[in-house]
């Protein structure tokens, strides 16, 4: 059966120039606001305390930690802003909603950690190594660092506890790779980097006081900058992948394929394509080959049944498109796409580029 009903969807859509109903699709971003608010309040208070301690003692490591906490405070604000923007209803210009807003702002958070947190810390560290200065009133730094470790430890535990609910038996890297909601692991990464930075600052101050070598204060500041840089790069790589667009969980795709294959009206399932438009919004396109003898009404009933079944089993699947396509034609199209991807630019494209170059010359 050919593609005479390609793109048929059970749910009636409004005209292209008409906005989607208010609240549709609902709750596209599921970030845990409690964790973010807790981190926001904690980092705000900690940053003020660190800056006061740095001004009293002259410690560059404490100054780097203050900058780190200040950047984290701004980042939590950006995450909350991203969650709010992601929950905006779909409209004529954005028919699939604004769910990727949370991916964009999470990527911005990673850039800010690298540019501000890491960049300023590295600069301050190099400056203090080249021009070391003694740290005065070290006890003030120790008290501030211990208090900061307690506050950051509580925030880290809350973020880790929330992340563990999603992680299950998977390893940490595997769980981060599988997560489509960046808010939880972004906060966890930030808090982990903060605890590591506090530990490094504490060790640097101890060595500075014990050995009477101010250079260790600058070395600790450099180490904090490196920690922030690695954290930012890891976060940027992960959130960039989400921003570009990732498929749904392989188990979901396999389940959709199995359910489609069990429908009597379908001869074969050609392809199942998914795309996350937000943490809780999956766009699904299923290419199937219907039996040739079916009438249009029978096809509609089969599509309706399969769509309802998929949505009941997977609530995150918000939009479903069924594409009727001959199995042979679908296989040829898939092979052509794969061959084109492996071969790179086609000969025709290369020829066109050569022609344009000649015309320019």
- CATH number, domain containing residue 335: 3.30.70.1350
Output the pTM of the full model.
0.77
Helix and strand tally (H, E) in the chain? 12, 3
pLDDT for 25-42, tens place per residue? 334 334 468 888 888 888
- Residue where one domain finishes, among candidates 214, 244, 274: 244
Q: Is residue 96 situated within a structural domain? A: yes
Instruction: State whether 66 and 188 are in the same domain.
Output: yes
The residue segments making up the domain with residue 120 are: 33-244
Instruction: State whether 237 and 157 are in the same domain.
Output: yes
pLDDT for 45-90, tens place per residue? 888 888 988 888 888 888 888 888 888 899 899 999 999 999 898 8
Counted domains in the chain = 2
| Planar angle of CA 54, 59, 60, nearest 5 degrees | 100
**What one-character-per-residue DSSP string does 107-175 give?**
HHHHHHIIIIIIHHHHHHHHHHHHS--PPP-HHHHHHHHHHHHHHHHHHHHHHHHHHHHHHTTS-HHHH
Backbone dihedral angles phi then psi of residue 12, each to the nearest 5 degrees: -65, 135
Instruction: State whether 59 and 172 are in the same domain.
Output: yes
Instruction: State whether 58 and 160 are in the same domain.
Output: yes
- Residue where one domain finishes, among candidates 244, 272, 297: 244
pLDDT for 101-152, tens place per residue? 999 999 999 999 888 888 988 988 898 888 887 877 778 888 888 988 998 8
Instruction: State whether 289 and 183 are in the same domain.
Output: no
Return d(Cα 285, Cα 289) in angstroms, integer. 13
Instruction: State whether 86 and 218 are in the same domain.
Output: yes
Instruction: State whether 59 and 132 are in the same domain.
Output: yes
Instruction: State whether 205 and 327 are in the same domain.
Output: no
């Amino acid at each position: 059966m050919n593609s005479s009903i390609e793109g048929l969807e059970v749910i009636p859509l409004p005209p292209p120039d008409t906005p989607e109903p208010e609240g549709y699709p609902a709750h596209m971003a599921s970030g845990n606001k409690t964790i973010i608010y807790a981190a926001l309040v904690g980092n705000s208070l900690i940053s003020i305390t660190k800056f006061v301690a740095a001004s009293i003692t002259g410690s560059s490591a404490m100054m780097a930690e203050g900058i780190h906490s200040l950047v984290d405070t701004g980042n939590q604000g950006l995450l909350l802003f991203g969650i709010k923007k992601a929950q905006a209803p779909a409209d004529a210009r954005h028919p699939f909603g604004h769910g990727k807003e949370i991916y964009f702002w999470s990527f911005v958070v990673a850039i800010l950690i690298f540019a501000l947190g890491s960049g300023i810390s590295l600069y301050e560290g190099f400056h203090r190594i080249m021009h070391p200065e003694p740290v005065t009133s070290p006890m003030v730094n120790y008290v501030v660092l211990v208090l900061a470790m307690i506050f950051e430890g509580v925030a880290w535990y809350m973020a880790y506890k929330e992340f563990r609910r999603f992680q299950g038996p998977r390893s940490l890297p595997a769980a981060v790779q599988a997560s489509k909601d960046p808010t939880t692991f972004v906060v966890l990464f930030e808090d982990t980097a903060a605890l590591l930075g506090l530990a490094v600052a504490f060790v640097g101050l101890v060595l500075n006081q014990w050995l009477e070598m101010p250079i260790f204060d600058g070395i600790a500041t450099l180490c904090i900058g490196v920690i922030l840089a690695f954290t930012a790069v890891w976060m940027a790589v992960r959130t960039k992948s989400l921003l570009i667009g990732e498929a749904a969980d392989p188990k979901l795709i396999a389940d959709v394929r199995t359910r489609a294959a069990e429908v009597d009206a379908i001869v074969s399932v050609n392809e199942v394509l998914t795309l996350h438009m937000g943490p809780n919004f999956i766009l699904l396109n299923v290419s199937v080959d219907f039996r040739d003898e079916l009438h249009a009404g029978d096809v509609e009933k089969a599509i309706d049944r399969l769509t309802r079944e998929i949505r009941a089993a997977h609530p995150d699947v918000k939009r479903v498109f069924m594409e009727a396509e001959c199995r042979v034609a679908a296989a040829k199209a898939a092979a052509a796409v794969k061959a084109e991807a492996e071969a790179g630019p086609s000969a025709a494209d290369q020829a066109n580029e050569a022609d344009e170059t000649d015309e320019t010359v």
